[in-house]
Each structure stands twice: as C-alpha cells, then as structure tokens.
Amino acid sequence: MPKDLLRSLPSIERLLTRPLALTLTAELGRERVRDLLRDITDDIRASAGREQFSQDGDPEPGLISQIEQELELRAARATRPSLRRVINATGVVIHTNLGRSPLAAAAIEAIAEVASHYSNLEYDLESGGRGRRESHCQELLARVAGAQAAVVANNNAAAVMLVLNTLAGGGEVIVSRGELIEIGGSFRIPDVMEKSGARLVEVGTTNRTRIQDYERAITERTRLILRVHPSNYRIIGFTERPTVDEIAALSKRAGILSYEDLGSGCLVDLAPYGVSDEPVVSASLKAGISVVSFSGDKMLGGPQAGIIAGSLEIVERVRRNPLMRALRVDKLTYAALEATLRLYDRGVAEKQIPVLSAIAATREDLAERARRFCSRLEATVSGAFDIQVEDGESVIGGGSAPDVRLSTALISLRHDSLSPSALDEKLRGEAIPIVTRTERDRILLDLRTVAEEEEEIILNALAEIVTSAQPTPMSAASSEG
C-alpha cells in the first residue's frame, strides 16, 4: 500500500455515516459495524507494516470503496447461518456429512404447516382429551411396513438402545460375531449393548454363523435374539448367516423375542434400480421377527428418526420405558415422517422422495443431463475449462449398500490455471457451497445428486470463478506494486 493512501485512511466515524454502513447498522447494530470497520482498517495498517499514521487529509475515494467492499463481504459472512444449504455434486446419495436425505416437498410443507401453528400433537380431536404423539404414524406404518404398531425415536441408534434396554435389560442378547458392527460416528453394537444394560452373548464366527449356534446359546437368561444388518460392509466368500425365517422360527420355537436392526429401512424393494441387498422392512415383520428398527433418513428418505415397529405389546413396552421421554421426537419430525410415509402409501415414493429418485435415475438420463450441462457451460466459459463427460459410478452412502455401484455420467473439469483442489475450494466457498469429487488432475460432478434447478447455480458459479481467475488489467497492475 503506497504511503499517501495510508495517510489518508478515512476515520471510522466518517465511514459509519456513509450509506452502506447505515444500511448494515440497521441489520447488525452500530457496535458490530464499527467493530468490522475497525478490523478492516487495522488489517490495512498491518498489511502496510506501519502502526501509526495520520488520518487527516482527504481520503482517497478508491480506498473508501475498497474498505466498503471488504465491509460488505465481512458483514455477509458474519450474518450467514452456520448450518447452510449446499449442493451435493458428489453423487453420494445418502451423504452423512451433507445431511443424509433431503426431504420431499410434501414433507417440507407438512413441517411448515405444523411448525407455524398449534397442532394436535398430543390431543385427541374426537374425545377432546389427551392424545398420543405416536398415534400420528401408526396407521401409515402399519400399511407401508406391515407393522401392528410403531413408535419413533430420535434416530436408529436411540431405537437400538431403547429396544435392547426394554426387552433385554439385565438379561442376555444373542448376536452373531459377523454382526458386531460399527456404524460411523462410533456406534458399536457391543458398546450400545453394554450401555443398554443387556449382556452380549456372541455366537458363531466372523464369516459363518448357523442357526444351531444361536440355539445352543439359549439359556434361562436369554431375552432376545438380535440380527443386525451389516449396513456398511459385506463379508463375501465362504460365508453363512441364518435367514430371517430361520431366526423367526427359532424365536417362536424357543419362546424368545427376536429383534432385527435393519439400518437403512427400505420400505420398497429397490432391486429394480440395482440395490438388491437392502432388506425390506415388511419382509422381516412378515417372516415373524418380533420387532425391527430402522432409520428415517437413510433409504427411507425422510427426517432423522429411528422407527421401532412390531407387535402392539412390544411397542407398548418400549413406549413405557422412561428412556422414551428422553429419546422421543418432536412434532416436526412426526410431520415430515407422516408426509413421507404417505408418499409410499400413494405409490409415488420413487418419483417424489429425493433419495429414491436419485437412486432410480438411469445412466441415460444422467448422461443426457450431463451433455446439456456441458454445452451450456461451454457457451459461457468457452476455452477456460477442458470439459468432458465420462463414465463413472455413484454410490448410495450413509452406510447403506456398500457394494452397490450405480452407473452414472460424470462431468470432468480441468482448468488451465486453477488446480483441482483450488477449484474445489472456490466451489466450496460459493454463497451456496458446491461439493464435488476431486481427482488427481480434475474435478468431477455427478448430477445424480444435483436437483435440475441447481444446475443453473453451478453454471453461474463456474462462470464467476472463470472471470475472477482471469488476470484483469487492474489486478495485474496492483500485483506488481
């Protein structure tokens, strides 16, 4: 910074009387704007390497506008929420770091309606007396999952804890060694078991467990036979695992309850879309498993929740557990869950639930979208990028169906001066951050997880990045100084 500019640094009082500061004051308060201006002018001083200089004389208009540009930027940053929308261009459908399932429009409407008004959350409109919050999803869960009754907890981890504690606290639970899994975020079956007050009885081996192994482990202390869907990993090769029918039959024969932690909670069979090894909720209940639990925000595509479904008697016992009060969900979750379940009931789930339509999108659809995207991109940023459409794969994510690969078309971008990691960083820094895949020499966009209306936002962001990456005559001149 040249000396004469420093000498003419405008005073903060003076900056505070200008229109931009006045507008921001209305939003942030005068104190906050003053602090921001102080930080900016301090930074200018520091970058000039001088502590002191006079503030008399006429400030350079260019300097004022530079300060105000910075003020606008910092004020925007200071007011933007911490939890923000992002665009998921990774193709990972249930991306745990990116909030798992985006909700269906119907679920969002239901949340808005219930959130902005009073509701009959625990009020029986027929009797005019007290009602139960779990009543709201009962009928729907009965129809779409084949459950007699259901209750909803904060997430599936809470559901597992509740079921184990209610049905097996102080007793023994038999689990196969091949199912002692860890889900991301340090959820480990043995640890949850311990916290629940139930004692884990391991049977079989990592790769092979037979129904006889369970049978032999049954004692008078056995309360539950647990089957866990090994969500995020698969054992392949020389393996054996009893079927749900075998577990259900043993449970009946021995008079011991059975429980299946299903993980993702597929309500419809996704085999037609290439996802063949995710268990369908109704199949387990139909086979005779006493109780199941699953997440609301994995394959189901609804809000974060853990659904416990089974016989009236078992669900009632879980509901009466004092832990239930600590782990229950609020009205917004019920609103979103009910609306999401209704889409299954109406047979429009694959069309209207975002994670299901993302899974159902075919390679041809995606290749067509990718080609259209690329020609629009060429038209705006011609020459700045090497743009290609290449074959690739999307994954389900969220600890579901780890061996499923969905064929997709990837948009590959190489910029002539920006490295892939620099480009990735710029995209993440956008007002609506865009998360992509970075490979060694390029970034990849997978439109499977991008809504059509988000394409425009990505195109604009890329155009803006290209423009600002071009050395303008001014920035070239100042970088010499």
Ligand X SMILES: *Cc1c(COP(=O)(O)O)cnc(C)c1O
Q: Which residue in 68, 134, 213, 261 binds ligand X (CB under 6 A)? A: 261
Closest CB to ligand X among 260 and 455? 260
Q: Which residues contact 115 (CB under 8 A, 6 or more apart)?
A: 331, 332, 335
Cα–Cα dist 136/338, whole Å = 7
Closest CB to ligand X among 10 and 204? 204
Give the H/E segment covering residue 310.
Answer: strand 306-310
Q: Which residue in 48, 187, 199, 348 binds ligand X (CB under 6 A)? A: 187
List phi, psi (to 5°) of 184: -50, 155
Q: Is 117 left (phi over 0), alpha (psi -120 to 50) or beta?
A: beta
Inter-residue contact 434 to 86 (CB < 8 Å): yes
Inter-residue contact 445 to 411 (CB < 8 Å): yes
Q: Does 263 contact ligand X by CB under 6 A?
A: yes
Inter-residue contact 136 to 334 (CB < 8 Å): yes
Q: How far is CA 419 from CA 110, 392, 423, 429, in A?
A: 44, 21, 6, 15
Question: Residue 143 CB, nearest distance to ligand X (Å)?
Answer: 22
Give the up-direction half-sphere exposure of residue 278: CA atoms within 13 A in the CB hemisphere.
30
Question: Residue 345 CB, nearest distance to ligand X (Å)?
Answer: 22
Q: How many residues bind ligand X (CB under 6 A)?
A: 15
Closest CB to ligand X among 264 and 412? 264
What's the burial of 430, exposed, middle or buried (CB within 10 Å: 0-12/13-18/19+)? middle
Q: Does 156 contact ligand X by CB under 6 A?
A: yes
Q: Near ligand X by CB under 6 A, which window of 41-49, 70-78, 104-112, 227-235?
A: 227-235
Q: Which residue in 155, 284, 290, 408 binds ligand X (CB under 6 A)? A: 155
List phi, psi (to 5°) of 259: -135, 130
Mark 295-324 with x for binding to ligand X (rule: CB under 6 A) and - for no binding.
Answer: x----------x------------------
Task: Show the tokens assigned to 87.
Answer: 């665009």
Inter-residue contact 287 to 135 (CB < 8 Å): no
Closest CB to ligand X among 185 and 481? 185
Q: Which residue in 102, 171, 279, 399 binds ligand X (CB under 6 A)? A: 399
Q: Which of residues 72-101 bind ligand X (CB under 6 A)?
A: none
Question: Residue 356 CB, nearest distance to ligand X (Å)?
Answer: 17
Closest CB to ligand X among 160 and 248? 160
Instruction: Using CB positions, name the residue nearest to ligand X.
Output: 263
Q: Does 157 contact ligand X by CB under 6 A?
A: yes
Q: Near ligand X by CB under 6 A, which window of 6-14, 106-114, 152-160, 387-395?
A: 152-160
Q: Which residue in 101, 166, 231, 394 binds ligand X (CB under 6 A)? A: 231
Cα–Cα dist 100/96, whole Å = 5
Closest CB to ligand X among 106 and 162? 162
Q: Does 355 contact ligand X by CB under 6 A?
A: no
Cα–Cα dist 112/92, whole Å = 28
Q: How far is CA 16 from CA 43, 71, 73, 190, 436, in A?
A: 18, 11, 16, 60, 40
Q: Which residue in 228, 299, 324, 443 binds ligand X (CB under 6 A)? A: 228
Q: Does 404 contact ligand X by CB under 6 A?
A: no
Question: Residue 296 CB, nearest distance to ligand X (Å)?
Answer: 7
10 Å Cβ neighbour count for 247?
26
Closest CB to ligand X among 264 and 408? 264
Closest CB to ligand X among 261 and 338? 261
- Residue ranges binding ligand X (CB under 6 A): 155-157, 160, 183, 187, 228-229, 231, 261, 263-264, 295, 306, 399
